[in-house]
Amino acid sequence: MTDYAKATAQIIAAGRFLAAKGWAPATSGNYSMRLGDGRIAITVSGYEKGELTPEAIMLIDANGVPRDNRKPSAETLLHVGIYAVRKDCNAILHTHSHDATVLTKRHKDLKALVLADYELLKIYPGINTHETKVKLPIFNNTQDMKKLRAEVEPFLADGIPAYLIRGHGLYGLGRTMAEARGIVEATEFMLSCELELRS
């Protein structure tokens, strides 16, 4: 299997998993993987994420320029920005969940979600105990991707595994697709607990 074929298969499988969880309503969300040669496989805009086919995935270069005449995800710049800063990251999953939306809209002024004392924190790279705190930044939503990319950049440099956009959703970063999936699943689990614990 070529590197691109492998990425395509892993993105399709991730879409099926995330849509089944209800985290990709109405074609929302976008997923990508960095290939060995530095190019990026990313979802094309507008497809049902639970029913992706190879045609729903396309190649862009490291600057986000499409390699064919299809339209990549509207949030391509955010993916490109992450890969530019985070050499350790090779897979990105962006979900739209009910709980992430309610949490970030209810707590309008919250600038970060602090997760503490969860056994599941151990899913994050480098964490071996629940006796710790992980701080995930929450950015206000904007349609200006350049602006958002710039806001996210300093936090990426700090090594965050995930971040939230208000009224919008979650970005999870992994060295592999399996890790990205684990980070998204564990983060959605913990933020769902937080939503309930804070109400």
What are the residues binding a copy of itself (CB under 8 A)? 25-28, 96, 98, 101-102, 105-106, 117-120, 123, 128-131, 141, 143, 165, 167-169, 181-183, 185-186, 189, 192-193, 196-197
- In 21-111, alpha helices (H): 76-85, 98-106
For the CB of residue 61, give the shortest distance to a copy of itself in the complex, in Å: 26
Which residue in the block uniquely carries the two structure tokens 């595994």? 161
For the CB of residue 44, give the shortest distance to a copy of itself in the complex, in Å: 15
Q: Strand locations in the chain, DSSP E?
A: 30-34, 40-43, 57-60, 91-95, 112-116, 133-139, 162-165, 169-174
For the CB of residue 31, give the shortest distance to a copy of itself in the complex, in Å: 16
Nearer to a copy of itself among residue 57 and residue 123 (C-beta): 123
Among 175, 192, 191, 179, which residue's Cα sits nearest to residue 87?
175
Count of positions (residues) in the chain: 199
Nearer to a copy of itself among residue 88 and residue 117 (C-beta): 117
For the CB of residue 67, give the shortest distance to a copy of itself in the complex, in Å: 25
Identity at 137, one-letter amino acid code:
P
